[in-house]
Amino acid sequence: MQPLFKPGHYNYDQLCRDFRWDIPQQFNIGVAAAGHAHRNPDAVALFYENDKGTEKTFTFGQLLRDAYRLANVLIAKDVKPGDRVGIVLPQRYEAGVAHIAISITGAIALPLSVMFGEDALLYRLQDSSASAILVDANQRELVQTLQSQLPDLHTLIDCDDNSAEQGLWPLLEKARDTFEPHQTLADDPAFLIYTSGTTGPPKGALGAHRCLIGNLTGFELSQNFFPQPHDVFWTPADWAWTGGLLDALLPSWCYGIPVLGYEARGFDPERICHLLQKYSVTNGFIPPTALKMLRQVPNIDRFEFSFRAIMSAGETLGTEIYHWSEETFGVQVNEMCGQTEFNYIVGNSSAIYPVRPGSMGKGYPGHRIEPVDADGNVVPVGETGELAAHRDDPVMFLGYWNRDEATRDKYRGDYWGLGDLCYRDDQGYLWFLGRDDDVISSAGYRIGPGEVEDSLIKHPAVAQCAVIGVPDELRGQIIKAYVVLTTGTEGTEQLAKEIQQSVKSQLAAHEYPRQITFIDELPMTTTGKVRRVALRELHETGH
């Protein structure tokens, strides 16, 4: 794929006025991501390491051949166009192969985090009616325990299994390495990623193949004219999330640029610094929490970094971390804002216009971004409105899976509301003021209170509960739970730990409440709704 912009000096306003989308009628994410194999099959696609010391390098030629083989395997196992195929894999080669293979069969990729516990995984597989899933040895047993509750899930493929029936590599060895990709339209569904909302369980955001193209103006400019010779990309973001998949892995491959994948449990900042130096990483998507953890590395100036651009998103970066990053890595971090439903639409590009630390930047070319009121009217400069994007945009998703009403609820006239309160200054920069809902942003993850509360209430000691996000220096926000206990139960520190562990095992490590306060009763409205604003006030007073 050819870049949309060439390195050079641009006037931002003129660039936006002159830019026009060129969306082909037919487009396939998998074909685009593996297309470099036809031009340079020996070029490196992935540098892989894990925390056990394993090192491997994979080329675009290998990537394409293995994706073709897996596509043939999926079809042989009765995966049809439109079927949802789960991927529960960490940052390893097979995850990338799976995304390309699923795409070129016309099926829909269902990325699922390896951090998900039983309840979180079961809900997503049931709601999506997934027909197949790819796992590793760490996830196989969990998925197998759920299969009796998943009547649509007829195929399980294990990347670490050596059996001929469901082991990935034995299956690939027998499969043909030629394949004719399914002819998908740009508007056809390509992926289904679950995202948290204010109430209820997570909703599946269904994205079209064209969404990848819609990402590219922001991707190229936030990475200061990506790609350039010798670029290497890295992100700590899970490839199951939009940030890791669509803001890092797939667009890098579309341009034939190698990605560094590191499979590990937890984030080891010292180890990451060694990897960044070893592979001469030039570009990255590094969330603010990861930057804060890197900041804790002693004598970090002993490492030689090769960064020429860093994008950061998921939570507010802040001026202190911005200046530390500039001093440490030698680049001005380009903060970006977007979401799964409407990704990569606004941000900074230090190569074109000055970065204003603390600002989320400006709308990238091809995207109409405005602060609007509840009716979709653009508010004047300096006034607060909801960050919104015009609906006529190739990056916009197709809608929430089986939830048309939830999709309609986000429309603000001709705009789509992102839920962030902001204002535009007289220089055109947008400034984040907070959320207009109760979604919690912790370490780059968007967490809806509903799923956490549903998990909390399952503990036999919990009678009622409510969760809020509270400020945290490292993660931006953490989850705090207010819990009303059952009659006769004593609120002890040990009980709090048991409740935390219960949630962690059901959902994910980033979704458990790091603080629990036992309370006699929850503040409620006259209609029986929890007054979270009162809980936030309670927290501010030290309770």
Beta-carbon contacts of 480 under 8 Å, excluding residues fewer than 6 positions away, are: 467, 468, 469, 470, 513, 514, 515, 516, 517, 539
Angle in degrees, 0-180, between the axes of helices 449-456 and 493-506, rounded to the nearest 10: 120
Which helix (H) or strand (E) covers residue 343, if one does?
Answer: strand 342-347
| Geometric angle at alpha carbon 361, from 357 and 366, rounded to 5° | 165
Which helix (H) or strand (E) covers residue 497, if one does?
Answer: helix 493-506
Q: What is the rounded distance in angstroms from the CA atom of residue 474 to the CA atom of residue 114?
A: 22
More confident residue, 267 or 105: 105
As to burial, measured by CB atoms within 10 angstroms (0-12 exposed, 13-18 middle, 19+ buried), residue 533 is exposed
Model pLDDT for residues 340-381, shown as the tens digit of each residue: 999 999 999 999 999 998 899 999 999 999 999 999 999 999
Find residue 483's DSSP bridge partners: 465, 518
3-state secondary structure 89-146: CCCCHHHHHHHHHHHHCCCEEEECCCCCCHHHHHHHHHHHCCCEEEECHHHHHHHHHH
Q: What is the largest CA-CA distance in the chain?
A: 70
Model pLDDT for residues 325-335, shown as the tens digit of each residue: 999 999 999 99
* 527: confidence class by pLDDT, cuts 50, 70, 90: very low
| pLDDT over 90 percentage in the chain | 81
Q: Is the confidence at residue 210, as pLDDT, over 50? A: yes
Lowest mean pLDDT among 190-199, 432-441, 498-507: 432-441
More confident residue, 421 or 64: 64
One-letter amino acid of 104: I
Residue 513 in domain: yes
DSSP annotation of 249 reads I
Beta-carbon contacts of 213 under 8 Å, excluding residues fewer than 6 positions away, are: 21, 23, 27, 186, 394, 395
- Rounded to an integer, the average pLDDT of 230-250 is 96
Q: What is the rounded distance in angstroms from the CA atom of residue 221 to the CA atom of residue 364?
A: 8
420 in Cβ contact with 337 (< 8 Å): yes
For the chain, the domain total comes to 1
- Rounded to an integer, the average pLDDT of 371-394 is 95
Which helix (H) or strand (E) covers residue 259, if one does?
Answer: strand 259-263
pLDDT reported for residue 446: 75
Q: What is the rounded distance in angstroms from the CA atom of residue 247 to the CA atom of residue 364?
A: 14
Angle in degrees, 0-180, between the axes of helices 137-146 and 118-128, rounded to the nearest 10: 70
pLDDT reported for residue 439: 75
pLDDT reported for residue 165: 85
Residue 32 in domain: no
Q: Is the confidence at residue 524, as pLDDT, over 60? A: yes
Nearest alpha-carbon partner for 254 in 195, 314, 209: 209
Residue 191 in domain: no
As to burial, measured by CB atoms within 10 angstroms (0-12 exposed, 13-18 middle, 19+ buried), residue 273 is middle
Residue 526 in domain: yes
Q: Please, how many CA atoms are within 13 Å of residue 513, restricted to the half-sphere of its CB?
A: 29
Q: Is the confidence at residue 92, as pLDDT, over 60? A: yes
- Rounded to an integer, the average pLDDT of 314-323 is 84
Nearest alpha-carbon partner for 436 in 420, 424, 447, 422: 420
- Rounded to an integer, the average pLDDT of 36-45 is 97
Backbone torsions φ then ψ of 517, nearest 5 degrees: -120, 125
- Rounded to an integer, the average pLDDT of 277-293 is 93
Residue 179 in domain: no
Identify the CATH number of the domain in which residue 472 sits. 3.30.300.30
One-letter amino acid of 530: V
One-letter amino acid of 88: V
- Rounded to an integer, the average pLDDT of 139-157 is 96
Range of the domain at 460: 442-540
136 in Cβ contact with 93 (< 8 Å): no
Q: What is the rounded distance in angstroms from the CA atom of residue 223 to the CA atom of residue 310?
A: 6
Q: Is the confidence at residue 427, as pLDDT, over 50? A: yes
- Rounded to an integer, the average pLDDT of 123-142 is 97
| pLDDT over 70 percentage in the chain | 98
Q: Give exposure, 357-396, as e/b (b: 16+ Cβ within 10 Å).
A: bebbbbbbbbbbbbbbeeebebbeeeeebbbbbbeebbbb
* 444: confidence class by pLDDT, cuts 50, 70, 90: confident
CA dihedral in degrees (116, 118, 120, 125; nearest 10)? 100
pLDDT reported for residue 443: 83
Residue 473 in domain: yes
Backbone torsions φ then ψ of 40, nearest 5 degrees: -150, 80
Query: Would you list the DSSP string of 6-28?
Result: -SS---HHHHHHH------SB--
Which helix (H) or strand (E) covers residue 190, if one does?
Answer: strand 189-195
More confident residue, 533 or 146: 146
* 199: confidence class by pLDDT, cuts 50, 70, 90: low
Per the prediction, the chain carries an average pLDDT of 93
37 in Cβ contact with 256 (< 8 Å): no
Residue 307 in domain: no
Q: Strand locations in 358-442, DSSP E?
A: 362-363, 369-372, 385-390, 399-400, 411-412, 415-424, 430-435, 440-442
Model pLDDT for residues 463-520, shown as the tens digit of each residue: 888 899 999 988 889 999 999 998 899 999 999 999 999 999 988 888 999 999 999 9
Residue 337 in domain: no
* 320: confidence class by pLDDT, cuts 50, 70, 90: confident
Task: Report the side by side order of strands in the sheet with 399-400.
Answer: 155-158, 132-135, 84-88, 108-111, 189-195, 203-208, 399-400
pLDDT reported for residue 358: 84
